[in-house]
């Protein structure tokens, strides 16, 4: 769970979508299914393949870094808008397209090298240490991931009172902007 719960681009996106109550079920399902696939790939040995092709990881890091920086800049622009422009009612459910939300979620998941490091390499290594019980470990990790994304996405509604204030949206977008930009810059540096 410590690897799944770590705050990063994907978790920040799920939280924001949950707060906006925008396509939450689809976003949670995509993140859960993606983690299950990546966990299974790690347990199945993809981690060894990724270690053999560091250039592929560097290419994904480059593309992912550019994407995260662009996403961070968009969040910064949202944070700098007048506070009344960030009214959750005006930008709430239905404000963004399902296709755009899905594409952003897929990009934040599959173009993020940290996902491969945490989910494929680290969880794969940890799971494979259980020998014949590694698939039970994989099932537990996938279940933990599903629980986390469900709580994060649907539980964000509990924070709705706090985020009814437009300044809270500015603060959240500011944190997202910094997080995405720092992660993107780090990825580009390593690429």
Is the separation of the CB atoms in 4 and 147 below 8 Å?
A: no
pLDDT tens digits for 114-155?
Answer: 777 778 877 887 888 788 899 999 999 999 999 999 999 999
Give the separation between CA 61 and CA 40, rounded to whole angstroms: 21
Residue 185 has pLDDT above 70, yes or no: yes
Give the separation between CA 62 and CA 85, rounded to whole angstroms: 33
Q: What is the mean pLDDT of the chain?
A: 81
What is residue 104's predicted lDDT score, i.e. its pLDDT? 92
Residues 6+ apart with CB under 8 A from 3: 118, 119, 122, 123
Residue 3 has pLDDT above 70, yes or no: no
Cα 115 to chain centroid, rounded: 8
Residues 6+ apart with CB under 8 A from 87: 166, 169
Higher per-residue pLDDT: 47 or 169: 169
How is residue 30 written in tokens?
A: 């995509």
- Three-state secondary-structure class, residue 64: helix
Give the separation between CA 17 and CA 92, rounded to whole angstroms: 9
What is residue 49's predicted lDDT score, i.e. its pLDDT? 66
**Range of lowest pLDDT (32-46, 74-88, 110-124, 158-172):** 74-88
Give the separation between CA 67 and CA 70, rounded to whole angstroms: 5
What is residue 92's predicted lDDT score, i.e. its pLDDT? 42
Give the separation between CA 116 and CA 110, rounded to whole angstroms: 8
The average pLDDT across 164-183 equals: 82
Higher per-residue pLDDT: 12 or 104: 104
Residues 6+ apart with CB under 8 A from 18: 24, 27, 152, 153, 154, 155, 156, 157
pLDDT tens digits for 8-18?
Answer: 778 889 988 99
Higher per-residue pLDDT: 83 or 180: 180
Q: Compute the CA torsion angle 89, 90, 96, 97 (nearest 10 deg).
A: 90
Number of domains the chain contains: 1
pTM for the structure as a whole: 0.71
What is residue 31's predicted lDDT score, i.e. its pLDDT? 95
């Amino acid at each position: 769970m410590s690897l799944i719960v770590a705050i990063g681009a994907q978790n920040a996106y799920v939280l924001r979508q949950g707060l906006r109550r925008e396509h939450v079920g689809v976003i949670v399902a995509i993140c859960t299914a993606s983690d299950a696939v990546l966990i299974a790939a790690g347990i199945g040995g993809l981690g060894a393949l990724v270690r053999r092709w560091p250039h592929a990881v560097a290419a994904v890091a480059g593309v992912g870094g550019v994407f995260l920086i662009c996403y961070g800049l968009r969040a910064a622009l949202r944070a700098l808008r007048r506070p009344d422009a960030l009214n959750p009612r005006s930008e709430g459910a239905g404000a963004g397209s399902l296709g755009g939300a899905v594409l952003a979620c897929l990009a934040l998941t599959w173009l993020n090298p940290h996902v491969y490091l945490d989910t494929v390499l680290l969880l794969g290594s940890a799971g494979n240490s259980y020998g014949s019980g590694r698939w039970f470990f994989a099932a537990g990790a996938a279940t933990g991931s599903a629980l986390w994304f469900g709580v994060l996405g649907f539980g964000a509604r509990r924070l709705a009172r706090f985020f009814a204030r437009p300044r809270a949206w500015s603060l959240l977008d500011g944190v997202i902007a910094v997080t995405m930009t720092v992660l993107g810059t780090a990825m580009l540096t390593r690429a």
